[in-house]
Amino acid sequence: MNIPANCNILFVGINPSAANPQADYFETPNNQFYRLINESAVTGEIQVNRASELRLINAGVMNFVDRATQMEKEINNDEMAAGKYRLQIAVQKFHPRVICFVGTKCCKYTLYVPRTNNNVNFGLQPRNFEGVPVFCVPHGSNKGINLTFNDKLM
């Protein structure tokens, strides 16, 4: 976790990439996360290119699950439950103003499990988590989701 107290936004990714598990958050080749947040104006005038620079915009980042996988479907329900608990502790400790899930899987699990028939759309969610507004954006990876860069830009 890399989270400043009272951060404006807490980005929550699903888990590290198996392609490069030692890489910092969203820093694997072809991941467009930092380019997306820079071009979406989340960062204002400051250009952020790595997790350690998120503090410049008073933002934090964490993985929902710490185990690296090739695909998110490899993550089991026990890991998802533990991830939700870790997020709950992080929110209570660091008090972010907004939680932004990068990808829908952990957002859906956090807001709707055990009612898994609910869908999560990108954007502001109708439910809060621990009293904090929740936003969901497409992940910056080229895996799985079939969206162009401009489609991902929110």
Q: Is the pLDDT of residue 150 over 90?
A: no
pTM of this structure: 0.91
Asked if residue 18 belongs to a domain, the reply is yes
Asked if residue 40 belongs to a domain, the reply is yes
pLDDT for position 126: 93
Nearest to 124 by CA among 133, 132, 111, 115: 133
- pLDDT class of 143 with cuts at 50, 70, 90: low
pLDDT for position 111: 93
Q: Residues 34-51: what's their mean pLDDT? A: 87
Instruction: Read off the CATH number of the domain in which 62 is found.
Output: 3.40.470.10
pLDDT for position 70: 82
- pLDDT class of 12 with cuts at 50, 70, 90: very high
Asked if residue 21 belongs to a domain, the reply is yes
Asked if residue 3 belongs to a domain, the reply is no
Burial of 70 (0-12, 13-18, 19+ CB in 10 A): exposed
Q: Residues 61-85: what's their mean pLDDT? A: 91
Asked if residue 28 belongs to a domain, the reply is yes
Q: Is 104 helix (H, G, I), strand (E, B) or coil?
A: coil
Asked if residue 60 belongs to a domain, the reply is yes
Query: Total domain count for the chain?
Result: 1
Asked if residue 94 belongs to a domain, the reply is yes
15, 66, 77 from 69: Cα distances, Å: 7, 9, 14
The per-residue pLDDT for range 81-127, each reduced to its tens digit, is 999 999 999 999 999 999 999 989 899 999 988 766 778 899 999 99
Asked if residue 1 belongs to a domain, the reply is no
Domain span at residue 42?
Answer: 9-152
